């Protein structure tokens, strides 16, 4: 009986994938989390290039051959400057993984927890963790995915809960333990719909010497986007009063409520806590600059999705200014466009 139920559930999720596709301007869970997690992922890659590694049983330590100053403290050659640990538990169809990141002085800086129920995707490997790779989108056959980012022992910075529903998916995004917004996806052969519901929250977060106190007060409201099978690529957008609006108006509202109120704030938390890891310098491999490459990819994604054009414009202006100051060097062969 259990096998039959699992088979029917799998067929159901396959059918969902064949329904009307939402426009690319509707960001996935992966894309939204990447908005703030990219800087941490780049830091992990920089640790690998700046220090030598010692591997243990599902753990990894980074050390240096010279004295390193971190958090205003000197660390002798051979000291643990950063450490990564991965633990996994499997209980029936439920898989739980905990990723713990230690900084200078063996201080627990960050934890990431991932819980998956259902499906047959293999757990996150240690190699993926080392590179900062983590998949968050709900997969075919899965009933639930839950992700948490925690500073230190217990300060929750962000969480994302995703659940399969009879007609699609339901996502819940929290910042500092406070509900920020919900996303409901419904799919059919004729129309697919995504509904964003935004919530007020009161937030107080402290990371090291930095503190954020924010109160967002308003009545919860929704925005809706519909994608229709016919005519092809026909999409409608509605605001909180159920008035049809342009894509630009819809995305401006999305940018404020999702990016500015939530994702950029979590990003500011991450940028501060990164300082509790040992210092790193950008290492060039040939003509590739890792940090620049990550930033270009992020802004290219924004450009493709037609989201936050102001951020893309500001970023290009920053590159122009850096080039004018001689901080960017063009090493491309002559004649390269």
pLDDT in tens, the chain (337 residues): 444 344 434 434 444 445 678 887 788 898 899 888 988 988 998 899 899 999 988 899 999 999 999 999 999 999 999 999 999 999 999 999 999 999 999 999 999 999 999 998 888 888 888 888 888 999 989 999 999 999 999 999 999 999 999 999 999 999 999 999 999 999 988 899 999 999 999 999 999 889 999 888 888 999 999 998 876 778 999 999 999 999 989 988 888 888 888 998 999 999 999 999 999 876 655 545 666 777 787 777 667 555 566 677 767 867 777 776 677 777 777 655 5
**Structural domain tally of the chain?**
2
CA distances from 36 to 8, 65, 261 (A): 37, 32, 12
**Would you say residue 336 lies in a domain?**
no
Same domain, 307 and 239: no
Q: Tell me whether residue 335 is in a domain.
A: no
**Token pair in block for residue 71:** 């958090």
> Are 295 and 249 members of one domain?
no
Q: How far apart are CA 331 and CA 217, in angstroms?
A: 50
Residue closest to 140 by CA, chosen among 121, 124, 115: 121
- What are the CB-based long-range contacts (under 8 Å, 24+) for 24-30? 24/304, 24/305, 25/225, 25/247, 25/251, 25/305, 25/306, 25/307, 26/194, 26/225, 27/258, 27/305, 27/307, 28/137, 29/136, 29/137, 29/138, 29/160, 29/162, 29/171, 30/135, 30/136, 30/137
180 and 69 within one domain? yes
Segments forming the whole domain that contains residue 287 = 282-330
**Structural domain includes residue 61:** yes
Q: Alpha carbon of 226 to those of 6, 21, 255, 277: distances in Å?
A: 30, 10, 18, 44
> Does residue 76 sit in the same domain as residue 44?
yes
Give yes or no: residues 272 and 293 share one domain.
no
Is 5:93 a contact under the CB 8 Å cutoff?
no
Check: pTM over 0.95? Answer yes or no. Answer: no
- The answer to whether residue 337 sits within a structural domain is no
Alpha-carbon distance of 142 to 251, in angstroms, equals 29
């Amino acid at each position: 009986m259990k096998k039959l139920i699992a088979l029917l559930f799998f067929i159901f999720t396959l059918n969902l994938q064949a329904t009307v596709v939402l426009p690319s301007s509707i960001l996935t869970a992966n894309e939204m989390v990447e908005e703030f997690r990219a800087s941490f992922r780049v830091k992990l890659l920089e640790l690998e290039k700046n220090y030598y590694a010692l591997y243990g049983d599902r753990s990894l330590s980074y050390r240096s051959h010279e004295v390193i100053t971190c958090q205003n403290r000197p660390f002798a050659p051979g000291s643990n400057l950063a450490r990564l640990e991965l633990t996994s538990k499997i209980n029936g169809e439920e898989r739980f993984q905990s990723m713990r990141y230690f900084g200078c002085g063996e201080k627990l800086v960050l934890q990431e927890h991932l819980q998956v129920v259902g499906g047959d995707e293999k757990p996150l490997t240690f190699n993926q963790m080392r590179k900062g790779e983590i998949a968050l989108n709900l997969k075919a056959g899965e009933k639930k995915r839950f992700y948490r980012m925690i500073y230190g022992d217990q300060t929750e910075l962000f969480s994302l809960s995703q659940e399969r529903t009879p007609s699609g998916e339901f996502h819940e995004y929290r910042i500092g333990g406070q509900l920020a917004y919900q996303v409901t996806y419904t799919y059919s052969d004729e129309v697919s719909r995504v509904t964003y519901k935004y919530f007020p929250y009161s937030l107080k977060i402290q990371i090291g010497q930095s503190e954020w106190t924010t109160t967002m007060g308003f009545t919860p409201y929704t925005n809706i986007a519909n994608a229709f099978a016919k005519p092809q690529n026909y999409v409608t957008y509605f605001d909180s009063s159920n008035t049809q609006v342009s894509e630009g108006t819809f995305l401006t509202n999305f940018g404020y409520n999702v990016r500015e109120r939530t994702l950029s704030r979590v990003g500011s938390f991450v940028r501060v806590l990164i300082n509790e890891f040992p210092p790193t310098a950008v290492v060039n491999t040939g003509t590739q600059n890792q940090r620049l490459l990550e930033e270009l990819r992020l802004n290219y994604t924004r450009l493709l999705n037609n989201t936050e054009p102001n951020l893309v414009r500001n970023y290009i202006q920053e590159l122009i200014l850096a080039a004018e100051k001689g901080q960017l060097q063009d090493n491309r062969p002559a004649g390269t466009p």
